[in-house]
Structures are given as structure tokens and as C-alpha cells.
Amino acid sequence: MKIEHFVITAPRYPGQPNEDAARVEIANGKRPFVACVVDGHGGGRRKSRLVHLFSRDIAKRLCKEGVDDSGEIDLVGVCERTGAYIKTDLLPVAGSVGAVVGVLVVEPSRVHYAHVGDTRLYQYSLIWPHARQVGIDHDAQNSEELERLAPFIDAGTHRIFNASMPSFNYYDCDRLEYMREDGSWGGGLMPTRAFGDLKYGDALLHVPEKIHTILLDSLFAGYVFVLCSDGANEVVEQLLERMGPRGLSMSFDELQREIRMFMLDTNDDATLVFVRVIL
């Protein structure tokens, strides 16, 4: 098996730090290939550097500690430990900023994927070249997440609110809010799972609901996986549909040129890890 990869990141505002972060650990001995994308939020223009450092710290921990030197994979455990670390060591920061994550682990015969929030993994292969999203976003459109949040909403400590405004379509979606001590509503978070954002309390989980495992079949010759922040979702979907089977044979120079061209037109920080597995 041969694993090839590259990382592309593009800030929303030219000259400003990207609130996202990505990290890759190359397979070494018993340790498999690991990739992580972290999509930070809550910084705006003035705190974007702080959020990037927050995201980078999380990405490093998830990549380094999600798999040990014996090859043992523990993606749920590393999310729990990282969440505890944020609460104890990063408390002044974690109350106002947060991050969603996606982690990809590639073994010789299978791939594992876990996500918290609305980062995404897309998959396609030579025989089935149409992009397929692995897993479902953790947000207010996810019926299982709404069922999980029901006790908090019934208790009146949280609500799902659509803050749509005719002149600002970016907010035209359901978001999670929490009740402040004075009885007013605060926040407005699209993902219903995330690291940080401690003001949301126990309603906001920082662990995946499941680990997705994909068996690699040698009959398919090869696979492409693209792990990305939500700012790159539409770019990745359009790109994979356009490339079709060519994505398994195109040079990385060609691929990166096409992707960078698409990523010029995003309204958010955008980050992706492109992984090609040849069997």
C-alpha cells in the first residue's frame, strides 16, 4: 500500500491567520498514517491568531495521542483527554473560543474516521468515483443530536434558534444558544459538538458519537479521502465530482492547482488534507 498526501489551507481574510489547523503523522513502524483537521471559531479578526494556536494545539494532541507506538487506536479516549485538558489548562481561552475536529487513521486494510462537529471526510474510489460524505454533521439538522439536546431544551437552559436576517444569509440556519445568568440568550453555535465553548456547559459534547471504519478492498485499486473544514466543503464536493477517476492518477501538482483555484472563492477559512491510497 502507498499513501500520498498534501495539505492546503486558505484564510478567509488575506494577511490574517487562518483559524483552522491541520496536522499529519506519517506511518512509522507500527504507528499508522494519521491526519487531523481542526476548524477553530470565535476569534473574529482580532482574535484569529489566538484561535489558530488553540486549533494547532488540539490537532497536535489528537494526532500524537490518538494512536500509540504499538499501533493501538483510541480516538474516543484522546478526545476525552483533550477536552479535559482544555477545561483545566486553557480555561481563560476556552470560554470564548472553540473548535470542531476530524481525525483520519489509515491502516493497511482499513481506514478509521472520527469527527466532532461539522468537519467532513469525503471518499471516492476508482470504481465508484462519486464523492461520498462519511458520517453526518453534528448540528441542529441532525435528528439524533436534537434528541440528545432535548433534555437541555426542555429544562430551558438552551434553545435552538434561527437567527436569519434578510441581509445576512450566513446566519440563515438553526443554531444552539445558552441562557446567561441574567436570563438573556447568548452564543449562536452551528455545531452541537465541539471543543472549548465552555459557556454551553454539558450540552456541548467533545467526543464523537461513533468511529467510522471503511474496509479497503484491493479490487478498487485505490481510494481518495479528503478531510476538510466546513469552509472547504463545497469546494471539495465540486472538485471530486469534476475530477472523477482522474483523481487517482493526476499528479499532485495538477491536483493542488485545481484545488487552490477553487478555494479562492470561499467565505470562510478553508483547510483540507488530500490523501490518496494506492493498493
The Cα 231–Cα 277 span in angstroms is 24
- pTM of the predicted model as reported, rounded to 2 decimal places: 0.91
Does residue 138 contact residue 145 with C-beta atoms inside 8 Å? yes
Does residue 12 contact residue 268 with C-beta atoms inside 8 Å? yes
Angstrom distances, CA of residue 201 to CA of 57, 65, 198:
22, 25, 6
Residues 134 and 160 placed together within one structural domain of the fold = no
What is the extent of the structural domain holding 128?
A: 2-138+205-278
pLDDT score, position 63: 94
pLDDT score, position 34: 96
Q: Domain for residue 197, yes or no? A: no
pLDDT score, position 219: 64
pLDDT score, position 245: 66
Q: Domain for residue 195, yes or no? A: no
Q: Domain for residue 56, yes or no? A: yes
Residues 150 and 91 placed together within one structural domain of the fold = no
pLDDT, tens digit only, all 279 positions of the chain: 889 999 998 888 777 788 999 999 999 888 999 999 999 988 666 677 888 889 999 999 999 999 988 889 999 999 999 999 999 888 777 777 899 999 999 999 999 999 999 999 999 876 666 778 999 999 999 999 999 999 999 999 999 988 655 444 445 678 999 999 999 998 889 999 999 999 999 999 999 999 999 998 876 678 889 999 988 887 788 777 777 666 667 788 888 887 887 776 677 888 999 998 987
pLDDT score, position 136: 94
Residues 162 and 65 placed together within one structural domain of the fold = no
Residues 28 and 159 placed together within one structural domain of the fold = no
Q: Domain for residue 39, yes or no? A: yes
Tell how far CA 136 is from the center of its chain. 11
Residues 87 and 15 placed together within one structural domain of the fold = yes
Residues 132 and 148 placed together within one structural domain of the fold = no
pLDDT score, position 110: 93
Cβ density class 244-276: b for 16+ within 10 Å, e for less: ebebbeeeeeebeebbeebbeebebbbbbbbbb
Residues 32 and 49 placed together within one structural domain of the fold = yes
pLDDT score, position 43: 65
Q: Domain for residue 53, yes or no? A: yes
Angstrom distances, CA of residue 93 to CA of 52, 55, 116, 159:
12, 12, 19, 24
Does residue 149 contact residue 157 with C-beta atoms inside 8 Å? no
Q: Domain for residue 160, yes or no? A: yes
Total domains, the chain: 2
pLDDT score, position 12: 80
> Which CATH number goes with the domain that contains 50?
3.60.40.10
Q: Domain for residue 196, yes or no? A: no
Residues 177 and 213 placed together within one structural domain of the fold = no
- DSSP helix/strand/coil, 242: helix
Given 190, 222, 254, which residue is the final one in a domain?
190
Residues 160 and 257 placed together within one structural domain of the fold = no
Q: Domain for residue 228, yes or no? A: yes
Residues 179 and 50 placed together within one structural domain of the fold = no
Residues 30 and 106 placed together within one structural domain of the fold = yes
Residues 109 and 178 placed together within one structural domain of the fold = no
